[in-house]
Amino acid sequence: MRCFPSLLALALAAAGAGPVLAASPASVLPVGTVQGSGGRSPYEGKPVTVEAMVTADMRDGLGGVFVQDAGDGDAATSDALFVRLPDGQQVQAGQWLRLRGTVQEQAAGKDGPSLTTLQADTVVALAARAAPAVTLIDDAPVSWEALEGMQVRITAPLTLAGQDGLQRFGKLTAAFGGRLWQPSEVAAAGSPEQAAAIADNARRRLRLDDASSQRDPGTVAYLPQAPLLRTGMQLREVQGIVDQRFDGDYRLQLTAPLTLDEVRRPPQAPTVPGGVRIAAFNLENYFNGDGKGGGYPTLRGAKTAEQQVAQQAKLVATIRGLGADVAALMELENDGYGPGSAIDQLVRALNQGHGRDGDWTFVDAGRGPGDNPIRVGIIYRSTKVRPLGKPAVLEREPFGERSRVPLAQAFRVGRSGKPFVVVANHFKSKGCSNASGADADQNDGQGCWNATRVASAKLLHQWLQGDPTRSGSRDAVLLGDFNAYAMEDPIRQLKADGWQDAFTLAGVERPYSYVYNGLSGRLDHALLSPGMAARLKGAAEWHINADEADEAGYQGRNVPGPWRSSDHDPLLLGFEP
């Protein structure tokens, strides 16, 4: 009797996968046996044969396919593999294959992690079988290694922790159980608590990826066009293949579009009680060319006059929205105080079209302060507060070439209000250019130039003890971008010297003003002298920037309103006058 092949066999043979064969159990290993329970396969460098179903074809983006078998009954071993196929091999998702090849470990980061890979040299199509089950996950697994290459669906909501890798690499940072926190925001450097925070982040973090190594992908298949994303939002029913590559972190190569919760932006600035309101805001390089509409591109900030107009509109919307009486500003162009200077143009824009409410003016320090391309500044509403005496600056190293020069100005509400001093600050950043010795990265989570920031904190405190504004007031607030998280040495130094955290005093739970690499924390602080602490009525952050995607800003889609007017969230404090 003559036997004819099945329609499935003919179809698979026509697709180039070869004839459908029966399994040869003696020569076939379970995928779990090939994977092993460790970080590297016990069969590394050896030939093996496995039988598994193609769960995802990612040759276009990652150069291979993922396959999975029915399992070996051992929860400590993964039942899936990444496979590189022979050139020209035709396969498709859902197809069962017998694969023979050599086991390799594909480097997935600089510290030794790897992705177990089968470099196949023989591929044979098999008769259809039941598809391997999708693993359901409701919490961060004890071991992602045991799921490497497998299909999973996460039934618990994930929190979007960061999106800085989306435009460049098509990836998001997500987390089980809420935001990921900068370890030095919640624990002192070198402490057991910091180590625990680092371990907790590593356990809860999961990268969501687009199954591609392409840079600047433009569109990302798992997201809608022009998606509205905010860090902190919930992602539901996330599904994909567990993978390990590029930076060593485990990631999910998504195989289904993300289900996004509705984005809820804070429509208005938070309100704080008190008769006088003081804000702090890093403007993210507000430069205005030659002050006459030309002179672009500048050293920093907007590259064209059109971009500068858009940037300014966002900054104006933010500052007006805060409803502050005094605002300490960072990252102003250091170009004087005359007509056409950056601070003059910003204040004129704030006042334009606001009649009697157009009462903003700026503190004129005469020059600088400092010689850095960017400087701090103070603006205020002249109908709400009035300055007492002249401004004071601290132009002594480490302020100047490194940390930006602080600016202090005393104020009073009306004629009978109790004086207070506002000090605008911007300490040296964490970047490592030219850092050496004690300023080099000590690998304690505080970055470079930490010694300089500590020295800046000490000198700032000493300076203020001498009443540099000659106002006679001991009530002062230190505001600005200290480039140090809440538990890092510079902030701890200021607290040891008696300065008190306004957000701690106000009972704000888990404040943050900055998101970097998927980690939330505070670089922006409000620290109060004891007298000013006694006058504090409330403190809040307006989360219009840190949670927003970069491309929502003026150099991207330019979403109307204050959204992504900077990379830092502004702070707002209320005090007794």
**pLDDT single digits (tens) 25-56:** 449 999 999 999 999 999 999 999 999 999 99
Q: What is the pLDDT of residues 345-370, one digit of tens each?
A: 999 999 998 877 789 999 999 999 99
Strand order across the beta sheet in which 420-426 lies: 385-393, 407-413, 420-426, 476-481, 524-528, 500-501
Q: In the chain, pLDDT over 90 holds for what percent of residues?
A: 87
d(CA 444, CA 450): 10
Q: What is the pLDDT of residues 534-555, one digit of tens each?
A: 999 999 999 999 999 999 999 9
DSSP per-residue string spanning 210-258: -S---SS-SS-TTS-SS---BTT-EEESEEEEEEE-SSS-EEEEESSPP
Question: Is 9's pLDDT higher than 50?
Answer: no
Matching residue, tokens 């276009």: 60
For range 247-255, the mean pLDDT: 91
Q: What is the pLDDT of residues 461-477, one digit of tens each?
A: 999 999 999 999 999 99
Checking DSSP bridges between strand 250-254 and strand 238-244, what pairing results, if any? antiparallel
Q: State the pLDDT at residue 501.
A: 98
Q: What is the pLDDT of residues 269-285, one digit of tens each?
A: 999 999 999 999 999 99
Q: State the pLDDT at residue 531.
A: 98
Q: Which of 434, 478, 428 is nearest to 453 (CA)?
A: 428
Q: State the pLDDT at residue 520.
A: 98
For range 216-235, the mean pLDDT: 91
Q: State the pLDDT at residue 484.
A: 98
Class of domain 137-143+150-260: mainly beta
CATH 2.40.50.140 intervals, the chain: 7-131
Q: State the pLDDT at residue 347.
A: 98
d(CA 516, CA 180): 10
For range 232-259, the mean pLDDT: 92
- Contact of 501 with 525, CB cutoff 8 Å: yes
d(CA 200, CA 182): 11
d(CA 9, CA 27): 22
Q: What is the pLDDT of residues 496-538, one digit of tens each?
A: 999 999 999 999 999 999 999 999 999 999 999 999 999 999 9
Residue 259 — pLDDT band, cuts 50, 70, 90? Answer: confident
Q: How far is residue 66 CA from its own chain's centroid? A: 30
Q: What is the pLDDT of residues 59-116, one digit of tens each?
A: 999 999 999 999 999 999 999 999 999 999 999 999 999 999 999 999 887 777 899 9
Question: Is 12's pLDDT higher than 90?
Answer: no
d(CA 162, CA 66): 27
Q: In the chain, pLDDT over 70 holds for what percent of residues?
A: 95
- Contact of 127 with 110, CB cutoff 8 Å: no
CATH topology for the 276-575 domain: Deoxyribonuclease I; Chain A (3.60.10)
d(CA 482, CA 514): 12
CA-atom Rg of the chain in angstroms: 29
Checking DSSP bridges between strand 514-516 and strand 524-528, what pairing results, if any? unpaired
Question: Is 6's pLDDT higher than 70?
Answer: no
Pseudo-torsion of CA 441, 447, 453, 457, nearest 10°?
-120
CATH 3.60.10.10 intervals, the chain: 276-575
Q: State the pLDDT at residue 261.
A: 82
Distances (CA, A) of 244 to 50, 108, 114, 328, 507: 21, 6, 7, 44, 41
- As to burial, measured by CB atoms within 10 angstroms (0-12 exposed, 13-18 middle, 19+ buried), residue 2 is exposed
Q: State the pLDDT at residue 15.
A: 42
Structure token digits, residue 232: 């902190």
Q: State the pLDDT at residue 3.
A: 33
Report the residue count for the chain. 577
Question: Is 247's pLDDT higher than 90?
Answer: no
Pseudo-torsion of CA 512, 315, 425, 541, nearest 10°?
-20
Say which range, 100-104, 131-135, 224-228, 239-243, has the weakest mean pLDDT.
224-228
Question: Is 1's pLDDT higher than 80?
Answer: no
Q: What is the pLDDT of residues 297-348, one digit of tens each?
A: 999 999 999 999 999 999 999 999 999 999 999 999 999 999 999 999 999 9
Q: State the pLDDT at residue 8.
A: 32
The mean pLDDT value of the chain amounts to 93
Question: Is 2's pLDDT higher than 70?
Answer: no
Question: Is 11's pLDDT higher than 90?
Answer: no
Class of domain 7-131: mainly beta
Residue 124 — pLDDT band, cuts 50, 70, 90? Answer: very high
Question: Is 248's pLDDT higher than 90?
Answer: no
For range 415-434, the mean pLDDT: 95
